[in-house]
A and B are shown apart, each in its own frame.
With several copies, the nearest count.
Chain A
Amino acid sequence: MTLLSVQDLAVARAGVPVLQGVGFALEPGRALVLRGPNGIGKTTLLRTVAGLQPPLAGHVEAAPDSVTYAAHSDGVKSTLTVAENLTFWAQVFGTDAVATAMARMNLRDLADRRAANLSAGQKRRLGLARLLVSGRAVWVMDEPTASLDVDSVQLFGAVVRDLLAAGGAALIATHIDLGLEAEVLDLTPFKARKVSQGGVRSAFDEAFT
């Protein structure tokens, strides 16, 4: 059984193709780390996988309602408290894992603090706790550990390991080492080529010729 499979995917940002020919499959219990220099197209790829934008070519296959996405920005409401933020997402996803999520991400002391009064790292931990309350099996994460300190990175590693042990899967774009035993996919070879060199055409190009 494959939780997420991507075949011959080409993605575009603002209409410009950035990656093409990307393919991989995530089995339960596996994590895949995406690497590549700044601007190669990791964010664009993840947004496509999460279903936020359509692929230029190729397919993304995942069980319905199995994927959850964590972006650069955390979707944290600064006027709500930590507990209120998490409770909201738990209700949206229909789970009741707020207390355990706070315990796991070391947020218990901050439960009644308004999110506006969190430090950058604390806010990030809250953003990651949201993944825990989603109850989903496939986590798609964009630089999840930006501005986390060493202890929190380890905490996060442990959480992801638990997800994998429970039969989930993770797709992570990151520049730093997470201490996870995961496959690594370097995106550099998949950089979109010019049309003359076998690159994908956008719908407009297609129509034009």
Chain B
Amino acid sequence: MSIWEYANPKKFMQTTGFLLPWVSGLAGLTLAVGLIWGYFFTPDADKFASTVKIIYLHVPAAMMAISAWTMMLVTSLIWLIRRHHVSALAAKAAAPVGLVFTVIGLVTGAIWGQPMWGTWWAWDPRLTAFLILALFYLGYIALWAAVENPDTAADLTSVLAIVGSVFAFLSRYAVLFWNQGLHQGASLSLDKEENVADVYWFPLLVCITGFVLLFVALVLARTRTEIRARRLQALIARERVA
């Protein structure tokens, strides 16, 4: 049995129908643990004072915003190559979630910027690239909304996701070139570098896991909705023909 069996809508509905409650529960639990730990039980940092607590929201959201786009790119490619409907619908389902994560990243960043840099917004390369990513999300969602025929929309948005990824990547490097910024460099990586102390690192890790699980749960739920909506549309159209 191959992984592609899950690309069958019926099989997908069965499997995820079973998985979804577990994933959602786990996501809620992890998030609650991580956020409560971060908010109530971590000390202030020297440079950041109490604002360090924003990191538990900002960093996971920013990471997931990028990961969500990557996931959409992959599912779009799968749709273009193998024509599995579930794949296209999963990309469609993920886009609004990704956009919300992007907005969270932007909003928490802006709120954090006010005390730290004395400004809500600066044209820092990372921030700018992030704003551009938000624009790509908007365009992608708008294109899905504007095209009526679902297969046409899936094809067009997939092409957009691929071309858009290339240009989003280019923009990322272009803005680096254009301005040296205020923003933190990459100081986190999964094998934990020295400049983040354990007190912040563990709750952050829990929060990141929580965001990942939340993303998975939301995408599964929304993909199920999209599949049902698709079937609904087909049935209604068929009623009209008959």
Contacts and interface: CB of A to CB of B under 8 A. Distances in A.
Interface of A: 14-18, 109, 113-114, 116, 192, 194-195, 202-205, 207-209
Contacts of A113: 240
Contact of B10 (A14, A194, A209): A209
Interface of B: 7-10, 83-86, 148-151, 230-231, 233-234, 237-238, 240-242
A194 B233 CA distance: 15
Contacts of B238: 16, 194-195
Nearest to A41: B241
B230 A204 contact: yes
A203 B83 contact: yes
Given A194-B242, A204-B230, A204-B231, A14 B9 contact: no
B241 A18 contact: yes
A17 B242 CA distance: 10
B85 A207 contact: yes
Contacts of A202: 234
Contacts of B86: 207
Contacts of B230: 204
21 contacts: A14-B149, A15-B150, A15-B234, A15-B237, A16-B234, A16-B241, A17-B241, A18-B241, A113-B240, A194-B238, A195-B238, A202-B234, A203-B85, A204-B9, A204-B231, A205-B234, A207-B8, A207-B84, A207-B85, A208-B8, A208-B10
A146 B96 CA distance: 46
A208 to B, nearest CB: 5
A33 B230 CA distance: 36
A208 B149 contact: no
Contacts of B231: 204, 208
B156 to A, nearest CB: 15
Given A16-B234, A209-B10, 17 more contacts: A14-B148, A14-B149, A15-B149, A15-B237, A16-B237, A16-B240, A17-B241, A18-B241, A109-B240, A116-B148, A192-B241, A203-B83, A204-B231, A207-B8, A207-B9, A207-B85, A208-B10
A195 B242 CA distance: 10
Contacts of B242: 194
A178 B169 CA distance: 59
Contacts of B234: 15-16, 202, 204-205
B9 A208 contact: yes
A116 B147 CA distance: 12
A205 B238 CA distance: 11
Contacts of B241: 16-18, 192
Contacts of B8: 207-208
Contacts of A17: 241
Nearest to A112: B240
A116 B148 CA distance: 10
A15 B240 contact: no
B204 to A, nearest CB: 41
A90 to B, nearest CB: 24
**Sorted from nearest, which 10 A-B pairs have the closest CB atoms?**
A16-B237, A208-B9, A207-B9, A204-B85, A194-B242, A14-B149, A207-B8, A208-B10, A16-B241, A15-B149
Q: Which of B85, B230, B238 has the most CB of A within 10 A?
A: B238
